[in-house]
C-alpha cells in the first residue's frame, strides 16, 4: 500500500491519543525525545558512511518520525503544527536562495556559500544578535560546535594563517597539559579540564586547516582501533591466553603484530 506523510501524521496522532494511544509515546516530552532525535541523525550519517541505501531509507524514516513527533507535541501545546514546520523551511529555502528563486546570480558554489552566510548574518542581526558567533547551537556535539565557532571567527579574519601555525600552537598546548600532569595535578581537576579543552579545541582547528572532516576522521580512527583491538583479542584467544590476563607489555606486542 502506498503511504504518504498524512499517514505518518495520523499514526503519530493515534500514538499520542490520551485514551487509546501508546503509554510510552503519551508520556514523552520535547526533552525526553531530543536524545532520540540526535541518535537518529547519527544513524542516518552511519548508513551514508557505509553506503547502505536500504538502511538509509529506514533511518531517514526514523528521523522523519522524530520531526513528526516534535511537531505533534507542539501542536498539542498550541505552539505550531507540522504544516507550519513545512511552511517555515519552505520560506527559509526561498529566502536563502535568491539566485534560484529571485533575481540574484552567483558564479559558483563558493560564491553561493558566501551569499548564504551573508543572508544568515542578516537574519541573526534582525533577530537582535549581530555577533559573528550568533546562532551557533549549544546542543551540538562540542567538537562540531568548536568547528562552527572557529569558522565564524575565521570569517572575520581571526584565524591562523596556515596549518603550520596551528601545529606550533598544538605543541604548545601539549606542553601545557604535560606541565600540569608533571606538577601532580589531580585527574579531572579544573586546570587539566582547561588545558585538555584547549588542546582539543586546537586539534579541531588543525583538522579544519588541513581540510580534514573532524567527524569522518574520528569515525575512521574509531573503526581502526576497534578492528585492531578485536584482532588482538582473537589472536590472544588463539594462543590460549586471553588479552585481559596478559601484561601491558604483552598486549603492546600483540598490538604491534596486528598493525604489521
pLDDT one-digit tens code per residue, 74-130 = 999 999 999 999 999 999 999 888 888 888 888 888 888 777 778 877 887 777 777
- Give me the pLDDT at residue 85, please: 97
Taking alpha carbons only, the member of 21, 140, 1, 117 closest to residue 69 is 21
Q: What angle do CA 98, 100, 102 make, to 5 degrees?
A: 45
Query: C-alpha grid cell for residue 53?
Result: 541505501
Using an 8 Å Cβ cutoff, are 31 and 22 in contact? no
Rounded to whole angstroms, the Cα distance separating 66 from 239 reads 48
| Residue 185, CA atoms < 13 Å, CB-side half-sphere | 16
Tell whether the torsion through CA atoms of 84, 38, 142 and 162 is positive or negative: negative
250: pLDDT strictly greater than 80: yes
Average pLDDT over residues 209-230: 93
pLDDT tens-place string over residues 155-188: 889 999 999 999 999 999 999 999 999 999 898 8
Cα–Cα distance for residue pair 12/5, rounded to 1 Å: 11
Question: What is the pLDDT at residue 120?
Answer: 77
Q: Whose grid coordinates read 581540510? A: 211
Residue with cell 603550520: 164
Contact residues for 183 (Cβ-Cβ < 8 A; gap 6+): none
Q: Which DSSP letter does residue 206 get? A: H
Question: According to the model, what pLDDT value does residue 102 have?
Answer: 83
Task: List the end-to-end C-alpha distance of the chain, in Å, as a whole number.
Answer: 53
Q: Is the model's pLDDT at 44 over the cut of 80?
A: yes
d(CA 188, CA 192): 6
The pTM of the full predicted model, rounded to 2 decimals, is: 0.66
Residues 208, 204: Cα–Cα separation, whole Å: 6
**pLDDT for 117:** 77
Are residues 112 and 106 in contact, defined by beta-carbon separation less than 8 angstroms? yes
The answer to whether residues 120 and 96 touch, using CB atoms and an 8 Å cutoff, is: yes
- Is 90 exceeded by the pLDDT of residue 24? yes
Amino acid at each position: 500500500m502506498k503511504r504518504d506523510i498524512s499517514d505518518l501524521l495520523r499514526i503519530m496522532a493515534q500514538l499520542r491519543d490520551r485514551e487509546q494511544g501508546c503509554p510510552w509515546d503519551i508520556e514523552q516530552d520535547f526533552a525526553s525525545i531530543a536524545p532520540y532525535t540526535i541518535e537518529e541523525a547519527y544513524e542516518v550519517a552511519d548508513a551514508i558512511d557505509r553506503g547502505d541505501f536500504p538502511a538509509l531509507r529506514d533511518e531517514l524514516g526514523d528521523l522523519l518520525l522524530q520531526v513528526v513527533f516534535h511537531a505533534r507535541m507542539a501542536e498539542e501545546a498550541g505552539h505550531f503544527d507540522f504544516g507550519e514546520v513545512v511552511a517555515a523551511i519552505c520560506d527559509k529555502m526561498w529566502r536563502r536562495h535568491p539566485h534560484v528563486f529571485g533575481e540574484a546570480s552567483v558564479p559558483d558554489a563558493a560564491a553561493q556559500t558566501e551569499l548564504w552566510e551573508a543572508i544568515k548574518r542578516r537574519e541573526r542581526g534582525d533577530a537582535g544578535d549581530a555577533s559573528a558567533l550568533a546562532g551557533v547551537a549549544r546542543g551540538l556535539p562540542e567538537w562540531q560546535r568548536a568547528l562552527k565557532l572557529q569558522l565564524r571567527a575565521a570569517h572575520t579574519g581571526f584565524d591562523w594563517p596556515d596549518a603550520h601555525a596551528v601545529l606550533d600552537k598544538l605543541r604548545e598546548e601539549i606542553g601545557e597539559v604535560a606541565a600540569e600532569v608533571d606538577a601532580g595535578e589531580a585527574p579531572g581537576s579544573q586546570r587539566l579540564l582547561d588545558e585538555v579543552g584547549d588542546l582539543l579545541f586546537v586539534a579541531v582547528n588543525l583538522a579544519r586547516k588541513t581540510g580534514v572532516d573532524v567527524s569522518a576522521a574520528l569515525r575512521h580512527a574509531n573503526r581502526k582501533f576497534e578492528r585492531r583491538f578485536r584482532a588482538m583479542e582473537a589472536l590472544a584467544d588463539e594462543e590460549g591466553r586471553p588479552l585481559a590476563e596478559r601484561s601491558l607489555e604483552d598486549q603492546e606486542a600483540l598490538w604491534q603484530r596486528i598493525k604489521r
